[in-house]
Amino acid sequence: MKAITRPLLALLLLGVVGCHERGATQEKLKSTYEDFEQKARWGESAAVAQLLVPERRNQFLAARARERSDLNITEIELVNVTTSDDGSHATVTSRWRWYLLPSTSEQMSDAKATWVDRGGEWQLESMQGGPYPDLAPR
């Protein structure tokens, strides 16, 4: 993660999210997003799946099994974070760079990830763009 990304994430999450006392807090969103980014970057598919809403996990894992270890994420850069007025949803926009073997041509795409508060924890509901087409909104 670029050195500027972590301070930007903290600033965006604390400044944009505002105070949300109940449920999933902005600190939890920050921590969960950073965990997601790190696990995705290192190809830890099973760990990434645990951060998804339960109804998307099997589909995600099946897609990763088809790819085997052909997906290589080279960089993820945070672009923006916005939350709903009630604090139950957040949209995290990030820029992803990756390649899918046997190609060595790097692809780049902005992705909009929708995170939802489920029982006080943030879970990834969908992601439009990026290296995971199976997570596109339904």
Q: What is the pLDDT of residues 93-111, one digit of tens each?
A: 999 999 999 998 999 999 9
Domain ranges of the chain: 5-130
Q: Which residues contact 132 (CB under 8 A, 6 or more apart)?
A: 60, 63
Residue 98 bridge partners (DSSP) = 73, 107
Residue 114 CA to residue 25 CA, distance in Å, equals 15
| CATH architecture for residues 5-130 | Roll (3.10)
Q: What tens digit of pLDDT does each residue of 5-33 get?
A: 555 555 455 444 444 446 778 889 999 99
Residue 83 above 60 pLDDT? yes
Predicted local distance difference test score (pLDDT) of residue 31: 94
